[in-house]
């Protein structure tokens, strides 16, 4: 502003007088930190404004755009404007007296900042997996995400923005952007990997407020979630089967139990429960058939035979009306032969227990029969049962000792005890186990001799380390005095490397069912740790020792999961490399890598992206 000349003498006089308080330079006070797209308010210290004076403001950019919406407030004591970029803005405040003369002025440089845009994952309900050991769901960490499911992401400004604003989202080629609601968006990825997300914020006038980016890791394979869901459904189905069984819906219970076992073939509790239900259902069916036969016999007047069937059926599978039906049958028997018939009833009941190998109960009923009417045949049978019980006790003791010896790896001693058990009480299952154990022992002996001969051949060629390893493996397979002596001799002069592997029986597929169970337990631990390849090798080793259809099916499913995981990982590496090329502007090279990733693993998002780029083929 121009100062008029006739006031010059007044200005000179004022220099000779003490300066008034308003003659001090004004001080510009900002309302806070300046940000792009948000109004900045500047004020001057009111104590420096002369009476009836005013303030003149000047706002000009340095190298950027002119600020938007420049206005004065509070009678000119405040200046407000909205920066449009991060370039500095020069602000000048001048004090003008009542005559319009500039008393003093000051200036400041306002450097706006962009807002920081934060990207955060919003988890409304974390994923859950089934813990088969505790029979309960457990909740995963909120950041564990799964492909093919919508993922919610939220953007916020820091510091908070005073006013309306919008967000513009972008994602990489492997990530599908779904519905969005200003500060939130839903994304989806077709396979495990990392989704690269970026967002830019604008105010209501379209001014860019700031941007941010982040990575969202999708780590939980769909196959793991599906396997967990199968195990959860299997256990719930099994519980419903048990409830049906308790309510005596036996046929439906067995059907549900079979479905549960098919859903989770590795669940031993369900498998054992199904076997028990199947066995009991067979007994129930047999008892029902006997009751139907009893009705037919009763209608033909064969009361004694009908009563025999009813008693046997009640022993095999007690019915709520079973005792009542038996009493009714008894009532119809001729009273003239009451004593004889009573003895026969007791004997028949004892015989039913006898047939079910329930010998203690059979002895009790035979004794009651003898108390009513003595019989040499019954006496002889009771003596045979007592001898049989003694033999069964001996057989159980030998079998238990044999099992303990087998667990200790003393197979020959175990075989001897099993043989003694069979002699006391023939058992088809134990006999089959004896045959399997004999085969294992024979194969181990042959393999031990073959390894010993290999060791001899290595020793003759002065390859003593290989010779020592073969001798040690020979001893591992089966006790061999010659091999043991060779081990002692060579160990004095030969040292094997610390990582030398000495093979055992299981490495040759020669093991017992107990060996297979131990290997399966180790494989289950590796599977629980996510080490699928190592677990698969142990499952196959166990199956080579003791094969089963369930284990073969499980190994096939596990191999398919491993192949799927390997193809997804390989495809993700290609996608990550393509993303980097695409960002660098190497579009042609990036599109080629995207196409190559599809040959490794199908990805609907990549296919859609290539089609959009006109590079689908």
Partnered with residue 234 across adjacent β-strands are none
At residue 245 the predicted structure's pLDDT band, cuts being 50, 70 and 90, is very high
**Nearest alpha carbon to residue 329 among 367, 348, 302:** 302
Beta bridge partners of 28: 44
Where is average pLDDT lowest: 11-15, 144-148, 582-586? 11-15
* Confidence at residue 17, expressed as pLDDT on a 0 to 100 scale: 35
Average pLDDT over residues 109-130: 92
Binned at pLDDT 50, 70 and 90, residue 241 comes out as very high
Is domain 5-110 given the CATH code 3.10.20.30 in the classification? no
DSSP helix/strand/coil, 482: helix
Among residues of the chain, what percentage have pLDDT more than 90?
30
CA angle, corner 402, sides to 398 and 408, nearest 5?
A: 150
Q: With cut-offs at 50, 70 and 90, classify the pLDDT of residue 91.
A: very high
Provide the 10 A C-beta neighbour count for residue 497: 8
CA distance 212 to 166: 14
Q: Which residue has the tokens 């390894």?
A: 451
pLDDT at 498: 87
Please, which pLDDT band fits residue 12 given cuts at 50, 70 and 90? very low
SS3 520: helix
Q: What is the DSSP letter of 82?
A: E
pLDDT band at 615 (very low <50, low <70, confident <90, very high): low
Over 60: is that where the pLDDT of 6 sits?
no
Kindly report, residue by residue over 530-545, the tens digit of the pLDDT: 887 887 877 877 777 7
Nearest to residue 55, comparing CAs of 79, 31, 24, 83?
79
Question: What is the C-alpha to C-alpha distance for residues 461 and 474, in angstroms, rounded to an integer?
Answer: 19
Residue 332 has a pLDDT of: 77
pLDDT score at 334: 63
8 pLDDT above the threshold of 80: no
Question: What is the pTM for the complete model shown?
Answer: 0.48
Query: What are the domain boundaries of the chain?
Result: 5-110, 116-220, 429-511, 548-613
Give me 250's structure tokens: 């036996």
Q: How many angstroms separate the most distant Cα atoms in the chain?
A: 157
Angle CA 535–538–540, to nearest 5:
110
The answer to which of 108-112, 309-313, 420-424 has the lowest mean pLDDT is 420-424
Confidence at residue 517, expressed as pLDDT on a 0 to 100 scale: 76
pLDDT of residue 89: 93
The whole-number pLDDT of residue 163 equals 87
The span from the CA of 614 to the CA of 602, in Å, is 18
Reading the block at residue 266, the tokens are: 């590795």
**Lowest mean pLDDT: which of 106-120, 281-295, 529-543, 580-594?**
529-543
Report whether pLDDT(13) > 50.
Answer: no
Summarised one tens digit per residue, pLDDT across range 175-228 is: 999 888 778 999 999 889 999 999 999 998 899 999 999 999 999 888 888 889
31 three-class SS = coil
Provide the mean pLDDT of the chain: 84
Instruction: Look at residue 514 and tell me whether its pLDDT is greater than 80.
Output: no
Q: Of 266-270, 509-513, 571-575, which range is least confident?
A: 509-513
pLDDT at 5: 27
pLDDT in tens, 383-404: 888 888 787 788 788 888 888 8
CATH for the 116-220 domain, from 3.10.129.10, 2.40.110.10, 2.130.10.30, 2.60.40.1080: 2.60.40.1080
pLDDT bracket for residue 119 (50, 70, 90): very high
Is the pLDDT at 374 greater than 50? The verdict is: yes
The answer to whether residues 80 and 41 touch, using CB atoms and an 8 Å cutoff, is yes
Please, are residues 28 and 106 in contact by the beta-carbon 8 Å criterion?
yes
Report the SS3 class of residue 368.
helix
Domains 5-110 and 116-220 fall in the same CATH topology: yes
Q: What is the mean pLDDT of residues 551-574?
A: 84
């Amino acid at each position: 502003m121009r100062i008029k000349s006739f006031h010059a003498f007044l200005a000179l006089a004022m220099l000779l007088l003490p300066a008034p308080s308003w003659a001090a330079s004004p001080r510009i006070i900002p309302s806070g930190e300046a940000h792009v797209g948000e109004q900045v308010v500047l004020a001057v210290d009111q104590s420096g404004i002369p009476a009836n004076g005013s303030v003149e403001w000047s706002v000009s950019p340095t190298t950027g755009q002119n600020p938007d919406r420049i206005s004065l407030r509070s009678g000119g004591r405040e200046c407000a404007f909205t920066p449009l970029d991060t370039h500095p803005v020069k602000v000048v405040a001048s004090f003008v007296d009542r005559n319009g003369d500039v008393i003093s002025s000051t200036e400041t440089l306002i450097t706006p900042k962009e807002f920081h845009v934060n990207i955060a994952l919003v988890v409304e309900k974390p994923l859950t997996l089934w813990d088969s050991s505790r029979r309960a769901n457990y909740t995963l960490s909120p950041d564990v995400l799964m492909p093919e499911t919508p993922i919610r992401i939220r953007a916020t400004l820091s510091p908070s923005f005073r006013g309306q604003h919008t967000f513009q989202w972008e994602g990489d080629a492997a990530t599908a952007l779904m519905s969005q609601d200003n500060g939130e968006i839903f994304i989806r990825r077709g396979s495990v990997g990392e989704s690269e997300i970026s967002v830019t914020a604008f105010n209501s006038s379209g001014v860019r407020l700031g941007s941010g980016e982040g990575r969202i890791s999708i780590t939980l394979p769909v196959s793991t979630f599906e396997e967990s869901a199968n195990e959860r459904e299997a256990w719930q189905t099994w519980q419903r089967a048990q409830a049906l069984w308790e309510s005596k819906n036996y046929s439906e219970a067995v059907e549900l139990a079979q479905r549960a076992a098919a859903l989770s073939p590795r669940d031993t509790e369900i498998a054992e429960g199904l076997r028990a239900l199947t066995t009991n259902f067979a007994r129930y069916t047999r008892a029902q058939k006997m009751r139907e036969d009893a009705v037919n016999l009763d209608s033909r007047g064969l009361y004694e035979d009908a009563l025999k069937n009813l008693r046997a059926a009640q022993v095999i599978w007690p019915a709520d009306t079973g005792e009542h039906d038996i009493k009714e049958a008894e009532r119809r028997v001729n009273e003239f032969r009451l004593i004889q018939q009573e003895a026969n009833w007791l004997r028949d009941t004892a015989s039913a227990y006898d047939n079910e190998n329930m010998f203690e109960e059979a002895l009790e009923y035979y004794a009651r029969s003898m108390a009513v009417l003595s019989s040499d045949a019954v006496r002889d049978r009771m003596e045979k049962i007592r001898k049989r019980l003694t033999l069964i006790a001996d057989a159980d003791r030998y079998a238990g000792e044999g099992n303990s010896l087998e667990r200790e790896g003393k197979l020959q001693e175990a075989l001897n005890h099993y043989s003694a058990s069979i002699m006391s009480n023939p058992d088809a299952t134990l006999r089959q186990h004896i045959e399997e154990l004999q085969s294992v022992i024979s194969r181990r002996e042959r393999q031990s001799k073959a390894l010993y001969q290999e060791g001899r051949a290595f020793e003759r060629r002065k390859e003593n380390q290989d010779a020592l390893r073969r001798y040690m493996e020979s001893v591992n397979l089966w006790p061999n005095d010659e091999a043991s002596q060779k081990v002692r001799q060579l160990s004095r002069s030969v040292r094997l490397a610390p990582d030398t592997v000495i093979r055992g029986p299981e490495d040759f597929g020669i093991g017992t069912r107990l060996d297979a169970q131990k290997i399966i337990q180790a494989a289950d631990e590796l599977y629980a740790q996510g080490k699928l390849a190592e677990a698969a090798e142990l499952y196959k080793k166990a199956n080579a020792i003791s094969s089963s259809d369930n284990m073969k099916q499980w190994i096939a499913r596990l191999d398919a999961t491993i192949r799927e995981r390997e193809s997804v990982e390989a495809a993700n590496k290609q996608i990550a490399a393509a993303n980097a090329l695409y960002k660098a502007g190497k579009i042609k090279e990036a599109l080629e890598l995207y196409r190559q990733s599809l040959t490794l693993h199908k990805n609907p998002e990549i296919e859609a992206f290539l089609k959009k780029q006109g590079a689908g083929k």
